[in-house]
Amino acid sequence: MKITDVEAIPLRLPVVTDAADSTQDALVVRVRTDEGLAGIGEVDASPLVIKAIIDAPKSHLISNGLRALLVGQNPLEPARLWDRMYEGAMFFGRRGAVIMAMSGVDIALWDIAGKATGQPVYRLLGGGYRERVPAYASTLMPATPDEAGREAGRWASQGFRAVKLGWGGFGGDFEHDAALVAAARRAVGPHVDLLLDLGFRWEGRHAVEGVRRLEESRPFWIEEPFLPDSLEQYARLADATDVRVAAGEENTTRWEFQELIDRGHVDVIQPDVTRAGGLTECLRIARMAADRGRPCVPHAWSTGIVKAASLHLLAAIPNALFLEFCVWDSPLNLHLVRPPFAIDGDGTVAVPQAPGLGVELDEEVISRYRMR
Ligand SMILES: [Mg+2]
């Protein structure tokens, strides 16, 4: 089998705001083959930047767009093609956007491999450790305690056993942050886990005090209190508190995650399969975390493609905790793929069992939101 095309499909809602909401646009990758099989992937990053990385023509030996490196190659060799892309785009890549673009391609290759063999992807990744994954409802923190209580209570009452509130209303001052979280805790009761995403809003030297103020609301973790490169601040906080510190959605490659754990002392790592290097690299990252006694909870805030790919990763690793289940009311989150994802009464989501990723694009949604 040979790859015949790598298509980058940018999608965008008619109105895009400043909210910390990456369901407002998306970049879908479709890899086609000479045997008629096609695989899909996604990149949760600026769509036209990623499209340029895929479409760029060859500049020289180690400066190639991804399509130029892939056409004519066997799609059933994702690990070798990962190295081919990494080395072939070395001159402008190695980290960041190029690894994100590679992630979308890599997910599509695994989708093809699953369809070619009639197997769900997690089984090809070495799974399955589980057939269902507990989900946390992931949403933005409202501005006031009343609204925070309503928002957290809404998702707990729909069956989620864990709720994450992030960005948005966080970061005014510790008093306000603590009031928001206390209201959320009152609304969900004692048995639902509360996850808090600070969205870089805290200053390093004061953060220990910030966590202390939140402790009575029993947060399950504190996510991204600092900028991703502030590894010394992460280490200081993680060493000073018993509350788990989570991070990693901005990081790419196993080398950055090794730093995050070994220098940043981060407790819970959150590689995004559509950003950190795809399923091939996230499997390595999750295994490295397992070796260091850390759980892996992939970041996932985009479409049903990232939900599907994350579920296959979570089924294939020993150190899974939760699926991040974006509940944001956006057509790209809710309607891009079929079948749609839903939680069951026990707060878990089923790992897809159909061949490949187990989801198909809704072409009507693609044509409605495709950037032209
Ligand atoms: Mg986050």
Residue 199: both structure tokens together? 């969205």
Tell me, what's the pLDDT at 310?
A: 98
β-pairing verdict for 268-269 and 244-247: parallel
- From ligand 1's centre to the CA of 118, what distance in Å? 34
pTM higher than the cut 0.85: yes
Q: Is the confidence at residue 325, as pLDDT, over 90?
A: yes
Tokens read off for 203: 């200053």
pLDDT of 189 strictly over 90: yes
| Chain centre distance of CA 297 | 9
DSSP class of 163: E
Q: Which residues surround ligand 1, an ion (CB under 5 A)?
A: 197, 249
| CA-to-CA separations, 53 to 47, 82, 371, in angstroms, rounded | 10, 15, 17
The predicted model gives 330-339 an average pLDDT of: 95
| 224 CA from centroid of ligand 1 (Å) | 6
Residue 89, pLDDT score? 98
Q: Quote the ligand 1 centre to 355 CA distance (angstroms).
A: 30
What separation in angstroms does the CA of 59 have from each of 76, 88, 89? 27, 10, 10
70, 75, 79, 80: CA torsion to nearest 10: -50
CA distance 298 to 206: 28
How many Å lie between the centroid of ligand 1 and the Cα of residue 45?
14
CA distances from 111 to 32, 78, 107, 347, 357 (A): 11, 11, 6, 26, 5
- Segments in the chain forming alpha helices (H): 47-55, 66-70, 78-88, 97-117, 121-124, 145-157, 174-188, 207-214, 231-240, 253-262, 278-291, 304-315, 331-335, 363-369
Class of residue 183 by CB neighbours under 10 A (exposed 0-12, middle 13-18, buried 19+): buried
The C-alpha atoms of residue 38 and residue 147 are separated, in whole angstroms, by 44
* pLDDT at 201 (0 to 100): 86
- The average confidence (pLDDT) of the chain is 96
Write out pLDDT tens, residues 215-240: 999 999 999 999 999 999 999 999 99
Q: How confident is the model at residue 372 (pLDDT cuts 50, 70, 90)?
A: confident
Residue 270 φ then ψ, to 5°: -130, 65
Interval 333-356 mean pLDDT: 96
Å from CA of 84 to ligand 1 middle: 30
Band (6; pLDDT cuts 50, 70, 90): very high
Interval between CA 186 and ligand 1 midpoint (Å)? 23
How far does the centroid of ligand 1 lie from the alpha carbon of residue 166, in Å?
Answer: 7
In the predicted structure, residue 202 carries a pLDDT above the cut 90: no
Ligand 1 center to residue 247 CA distance, Å?
Answer: 7
The yes-or-no verdict on residue 61 having pLDDT over 80 is yes
Rounded mean pLDDT of 306-331?
96
Round to whole Å and give the CA distance between 155 and 140: 12
pLDDT over 70, % of the chain = 100
pLDDT score of 315 more than 90: yes
Give 198's pLDDT tier (boundaries 50, 70, 90). Answer: very high
The answer to whether the bond into 39 is cis (omega within 30° of 0) is no
**CA atoms of 135 and 103, how far apart (whole Å):** 23
SS3 122: helix
Q: Give the pLDDT confidence of 8-54 residue by residue, as tens digits.
A: 999 999 999 988 888 899 999 999 999 999 999 999 999 999 999 99
How far, in Å, is the centroid of ligand 1 from the Cα of 198?
A: 8
Contact 356, 111 (CB under 8 A): yes
pLDDT band of residue 173 (cuts 50, 70, 90) is confident
Do residues 349 and 323 touch, judged by C-beta distance below 8 A? Answer: yes
pLDDT band for position 243 (cuts 50, 70, 90): very high
The yes-or-no verdict on residue 205 having pLDDT over 80 is no
For the chain, domains (ranges, CATH) are 3-118 (3.30.390.10), 124-369 (3.20.20.120)
**Structure-block tokens of residue 117:** 């063999």
